[in-house]
C-alpha cells in the first residue's frame, strides 16, 4: 500500500524549506529521495495533480537498457540497475525491476555489423552482451518468426520496471526520510531577485527556499521562461499499446528491440506492451494548450498503434490474434541532440532545471536524482555531465523553427545506424 501524503491538508505547510522540487514525476521523486538519503533536511515536493507520477511517468515503457552511445549514460544505467535491484533491501520498497535481459533484433546485415561495434563497446564498459543463435532467440521469445530476422544479440542484465511502481518506491522511501509531498499545489511563478531564487508562488501563497529544482517534464521549459531562459526542448508524442493476456509469454521473456522498425516490445500484465518512434513526429506546443491540459488529454493513439502493429506483426504474428486492452497516451521531451538538459539555469543562482528525458526518463531517473542532489548539496553533480548543459546550443535556441525541426529529426532517427 502506498504511504505518501496524499492531501495538502494532511500537514501544515511551512513557509520556508531548504529545497523545493517542482514536479512529483519520477525525476523529482528520485531527486527528493537522493537529497534525503544524503542528509538534506527541509525538502518539499510540489505537485499540481492529486497523485505522484500523474503525467508522463506512468505512460512510459520503463525499459532499462545498458547499450548506450556515451560513457556517461553507460554509467547512469549501471547506477540505475544497482539502485533498482538493491532498493527493496535498503528501503523496504520494491522498484518492480524485472531483470530478464534485452534482445536486440536485426533485420539487415548492416544492422548486424552495427551490433558488432555495440557489443565491443559494451564489453569495454564491463557489460555482458553477445550474439546468440536462432535457437536461443526462439527459446527466449517463442512467438518470434525467425524467418523474418537476420539475427540478434542478448544483454542478460538489462530489464524493465513498472514506471508508476518505481516512482512509488522513490516516494515512499523519501517520505520515510522526512521529505514532504504537497499535492494539488500548482506553481504559479518563481520568486527571484537580483539573480537569486528565493522560492515559489503557489495557490497556498509564497513558499520560500534558497534552492529550487524544476523536474516538471515537458512543462519545465515553461516555468523557466519567466527568467528569460529558453530551454532547448520540444515535447513530442510518444505512445504505446498493451494487448490482452496470452499464455505464450514465458516468465523470462526479455525486452525486445527492433531498431530497423523503430519498435520495441515487452511483457506487461500477461500481454505485450509495444510502441515505436513515429517516422513523422507530432510535436506538442504546450503554450497553445489550456492551463488544465494534461497528458491524459492527448488523443488516443489508435491509428499510431495500428501502424506499430503492422510493423511488428510479420515478426510477431501473435499480435494479430490479440486485441488491445489499453493505450498509453505518452509524451516525451527531446533536445536537438537527444541528450538530457540538466543543470543550473543560467543567471539565476540555485535554480536548477532537469528536462529532455528523450524516452530515457525512467532508466535515467536514478542518476538524474543523484546529479541534482550533489549539485544542490556540494555545488557539483559529482560527474562530468557537461554534455547535458543548458547552454550547449548557444543562440540557436531562439529559433523555434530550428528547435522543432532538429528535435523531431532526432526523435524520428532514434534507432538510426550511426557512423563514428
Q: List domains and CATH numbers for the chain.
A: 8-59+163-235+336-412 (3.50.50.60), 102-156+239-328 (3.30.9.10)
Q: Give pLDDT, residue 234.
A: 97
Place of cell 527459446: 139
Mean pLDDT, residues 169-188: 97
The model's pTM: 0.95
Closest CA to 232 of 349, 350, 404, 352: 404
Distances (CA, A) of 116 to 147, 174, 360: 21, 41, 23
Reported confidence tier of residue 419, pLDDT bands at 50, 70, 90:
low
Q: What is the edge-to-edge ordering of all strands in the sheet holding 151-155?
A: 130-131, 151-155, 102-106, 255-258, 263-268, 271-276, 240-243, 324-328
Residue 181's Cβ-side half-sphere holds a number of Cα atoms within 13 Å equal to: 33
Cβ-in-10-Å burial (0-12, 13-18, 19+) of 380 comes to exposed
Do 49 and 55 contact (CB within 8 A), yes or no? yes
Which grid coordinates belong to 351? 535554480
Q: What is the pLDDT of residues 331-342, one digit of tens each?
A: 999 999 999 999
Q: What is the pLDDT of residues 269-319, one digit of tens each?
A: 999 999 999 999 999 999 999 989 999 999 989 999 999 999 999 999 999
Q: Give pLDDT, residue 157.
A: 97
Q: Give pLDDT, residue 420.
A: 53
Q: Give pLDDT, residue 6.
A: 37
Mean pLDDT, residues 344-362: 96
Mean pLDDT, residues 121-139: 96
* Summary mean pLDDT of the chain: 94
Q: What is the pLDDT of residues 188-208, one digit of tens each?
A: 999 999 899 999 999 889 999
Q: How far does CA 392 lie from the centroid of its chain?
A: 21
Amino acid at each position: 500500500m502506498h504511504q505518501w501524503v496524499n492531501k495538502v491538508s494532511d500537514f501544515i505547510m511551512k513557509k520556508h524549506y531548504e529545497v523545493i522540487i517542482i514536479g512529483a514525476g519520477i525525476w523529482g521523486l528520485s531527486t527528493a529521495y537522493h537529497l534525503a538519503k544524503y542528509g538534506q533536511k527541509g525538502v518539499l515536493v510540489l505537485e499540481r495533480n492529486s497523485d505522484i507520477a500523474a503525467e508522463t511517468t506512468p505512460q512510459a515503457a520503463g525499459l532499462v537498457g545498458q547499450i548506450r552511445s556515451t560513457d556517461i549514460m553507460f554509467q547512469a544505467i549501471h547506477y540505475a540497475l544497482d539502485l533498482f535491484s538493491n532498493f527493496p533491501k535498503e528501503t523496504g520498497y520494491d522498484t518492480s525491476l524485472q531483470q530478464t535481459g534485452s534482445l536486440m533484433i536485426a533485420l539487415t546485415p548492416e544492422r548486424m555489423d552495427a551490433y558488432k561495434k555495440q557489443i565491443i563497446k559494451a564489453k569495454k564498459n564491463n557489460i555482458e552482451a553477445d550474439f546468440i543463435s536462432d535457437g536461443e532467440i526462439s527459446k527466449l521469445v517463442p512467438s518470434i518468426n525467425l524467418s523474418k530476422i537476420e539475427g540478434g544479440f542478448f544483454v542478460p542484465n538489462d530489464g524493465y520496471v513498472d514506471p508508476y511502481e518505481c516512482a512509488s518506491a522513490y516516494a515512499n522511501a523519501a517520505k520515510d526520510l522526512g521529505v514532504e509531498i504537497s499535492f494539488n499545489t500548482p506553481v504559479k511563478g518563481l520568486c527571484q531577485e537580483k539573480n537569486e531564487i528565493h522560492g515559489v508562488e503557489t495557490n497556498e501563497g509564497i513558499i520560500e527556499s534558497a534552492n529550487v529544482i524544476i523536474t516538471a517534464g515537458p512543462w519545465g521549459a515553461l516555468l523557466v521562461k519567466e527568467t528569460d531562459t529558453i530551454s532547448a526542448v520540444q515535447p513530442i508524442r510518444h505512445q504505446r499499446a498493451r494487448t490482452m493476456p496470452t499464455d505464450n509469454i514465458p516468465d523470462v521473456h526479455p525486452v525486445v528491440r527492433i531498431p530497423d522498425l523503430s519498435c520495441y516490445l515487452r511483457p506487461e500484465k500477461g500481454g505485450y506492451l509495444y510502441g515505436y518512434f513515429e517516422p513523422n513526429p507530432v510535436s506538442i506546443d504546450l503554450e497553445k494548450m489550456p492551463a488544465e491540459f494534461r497528458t491524459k488529454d492527448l488523443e488516443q493513439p489508435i491509428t499510431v498503434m495500428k501502424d506499430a502493429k503492422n510493423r511488428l506483426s510479420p515478426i510477431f504474428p501473435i499480435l494479430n490474434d490479440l486485441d488491445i486492452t489499453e493505450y498509453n497516451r505518452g509524451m516525451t521531451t527531446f533536445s536537438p541532440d537527444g541528450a538530457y538538459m540538466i543543470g543550473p539555469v543560467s543567471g539565476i543562482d540555485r535554480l536548477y532545471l532537469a528536462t529532455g528525458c528523450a524516452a530515457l526518463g525512467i532508466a535515467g531517473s536514478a542518476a538524474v536524482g543523484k546529479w541534482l542532489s550533489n549539485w544542490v548539496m556540494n555545488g557539483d553533480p559529482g560527474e562530468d555531465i557537461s554534455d547535458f548543459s543548458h547552454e550547449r546550443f548557444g543562440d540557436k535556441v531562439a529559433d523555434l523553427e530550428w528547435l522543432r525541426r532538429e528535435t523531431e529529426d532526432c526523435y524520428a532517427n532514434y534507432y538510426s545506424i550511426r557512423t563514428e
